[in-house]
Protein backbone atom coordinates (compact mmCIF):
# COMPACT_ATOMS: atom_id res chain seq x y z
CA UNK A 1 0.00 0.00 0.00
CA UNK A 2 2.88 2.37 0.76
CA UNK A 3 4.49 1.69 -2.61
CA UNK A 4 1.20 2.45 -4.39
CA UNK A 5 0.88 5.72 -2.49
CA UNK A 6 4.45 6.65 -3.39
CA UNK A 7 3.87 5.93 -7.07
CA UNK A 8 0.65 7.96 -7.06
CA UNK A 9 2.39 10.84 -5.32
CA UNK A 10 5.25 10.74 -7.82
CA UNK A 11 2.96 10.86 -10.87
CA UNK A 12 1.22 14.00 -9.62
CA UNK A 13 4.14 16.07 -10.90
CA UNK A 14 4.23 14.79 -14.49
CA UNK A 15 0.44 14.72 -14.57
CA UNK A 16 0.28 18.37 -13.57
CA UNK A 17 2.90 19.32 -16.14
CA UNK A 18 1.50 17.32 -19.07
CA UNK A 19 -1.33 19.72 -20.10
CA UNK A 20 1.10 22.62 -20.37
CA UNK A 21 3.56 20.58 -22.41
CA UNK A 22 0.79 19.41 -24.72
CA UNK A 23 -0.40 23.00 -25.06
CA UNK A 24 3.09 24.09 -26.07
CA UNK A 25 3.26 21.30 -28.64
CA UNK A 26 -0.13 22.31 -30.02
CA UNK A 27 1.05 25.91 -30.33
CA UNK A 28 3.71 24.76 -32.78
CA UNK A 29 1.08 23.67 -35.34
CA UNK A 30 1.20 25.79 -38.50
CA UNK A 31 -1.08 28.84 -38.31
CA UNK A 32 -2.31 28.22 -41.86
CA UNK A 33 -4.61 25.37 -40.78
CA UNK A 34 -8.29 26.37 -40.92
CA UNK A 35 -9.93 26.30 -37.47
CA UNK A 36 -6.60 25.92 -35.71
CA UNK A 37 -7.73 27.34 -32.38
CA UNK A 38 -10.75 25.04 -32.30
CA UNK A 39 -8.55 22.05 -33.14
CA UNK A 40 -6.05 22.94 -30.41
CA UNK A 41 -8.80 23.34 -27.84
CA UNK A 42 -10.52 20.09 -28.76
CA UNK A 43 -7.29 18.10 -28.72
CA UNK A 44 -6.31 19.48 -25.32
CA UNK A 45 -9.79 18.84 -23.91
CA UNK A 46 -9.87 15.32 -25.31
CA UNK A 47 -6.43 14.56 -23.92
CA UNK A 48 -7.66 15.69 -20.51
CA UNK A 49 -10.34 13.00 -20.59
CA UNK A 50 -7.87 10.18 -21.24
CA UNK A 51 -6.60 9.75 -17.64
CA UNK A 52 -10.16 9.50 -16.35
CA UNK A 53 -10.97 6.84 -18.94
CA UNK A 54 -7.85 4.87 -17.99
CA UNK A 55 -8.80 4.96 -14.31
CA UNK A 56 -12.39 3.97 -15.11
CA UNK A 57 -11.22 1.03 -17.19
CA UNK A 58 -8.75 -0.09 -14.52
CA UNK A 59 -11.35 0.11 -11.76
CA UNK A 60 -13.90 -1.85 -13.78
CA UNK A 61 -11.40 -4.61 -14.55
CA UNK A 62 -10.17 -4.90 -10.95
CA UNK A 63 -11.31 -8.17 -9.37
CA UNK A 64 -13.34 -8.04 -6.20
CA UNK A 65 -14.90 -4.95 -4.83
CA UNK A 66 -15.27 -3.36 -1.47
CA UNK A 67 -18.61 -3.97 0.17
CA UNK A 68 -20.32 -0.66 0.72
CA UNK A 69 -22.65 -0.20 3.63
CA UNK A 70 -25.88 1.64 3.10
CA UNK A 71 -25.65 5.06 4.76
CA UNK A 72 -28.10 5.82 7.56
CA UNK A 73 -31.06 8.08 6.96
CA UNK A 74 -30.54 11.82 7.31
CA UNK A 75 -32.60 12.16 10.48
CA UNK A 76 -30.70 9.29 12.07
CA UNK A 77 -27.41 10.99 11.26
CA UNK A 78 -28.60 14.33 12.64
CA UNK A 79 -29.32 12.75 16.03
CA UNK A 80 -25.62 11.99 16.45
CA UNK A 81 -23.86 14.82 18.42
CA UNK A 82 -20.56 14.20 16.63
CA UNK A 83 -22.20 15.03 13.33
CA UNK A 84 -23.61 18.26 14.77
CA UNK A 85 -20.15 19.38 15.86
CA UNK A 86 -18.80 18.67 12.39
CA UNK A 87 -21.70 20.52 10.75
CA UNK A 88 -21.36 23.57 13.00
CA UNK A 89 -17.60 23.63 12.54
CA UNK A 90 -17.89 23.39 8.76
CA UNK A 91 -20.70 25.95 8.51
CA UNK A 92 -18.95 28.28 10.96
CA UNK A 93 -15.71 28.15 9.02
CA UNK A 94 -17.59 28.89 5.79
CA UNK A 95 -19.52 31.71 7.46
CA UNK A 96 -16.43 33.44 8.86
CA UNK A 97 -14.45 32.96 5.66
Gyration radius (Cα) of the chain, Å: 22
pTM: 0.54
Q: What is the pLDDT of residues 4-49, one digit of tens each?
A: 888 888 988 998 899 999 999 999 999 898 999 999 999 999 999 9
Q: What is the pLDDT of residues 72-95, one digit of tens each?
A: 788 888 888 888 888 888 888 888
pLDDT at 66: 67
Pairwise CA distance, residues 68 & 21, whole Å: 39
Q: At what angle do helices 12-27 and 2-10 cross, to 10 degrees?
A: 30
Alpha-helical (H) ranges within the chain are: 2-10, 12-27, 36-61, 74-78, 81-96
pLDDT band at 3 (very low <50, low <70, confident <90, very high): confident
Amino acid sequence: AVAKAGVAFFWQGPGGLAPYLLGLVLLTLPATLPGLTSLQFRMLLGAGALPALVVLGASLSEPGGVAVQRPPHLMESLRNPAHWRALIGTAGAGFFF
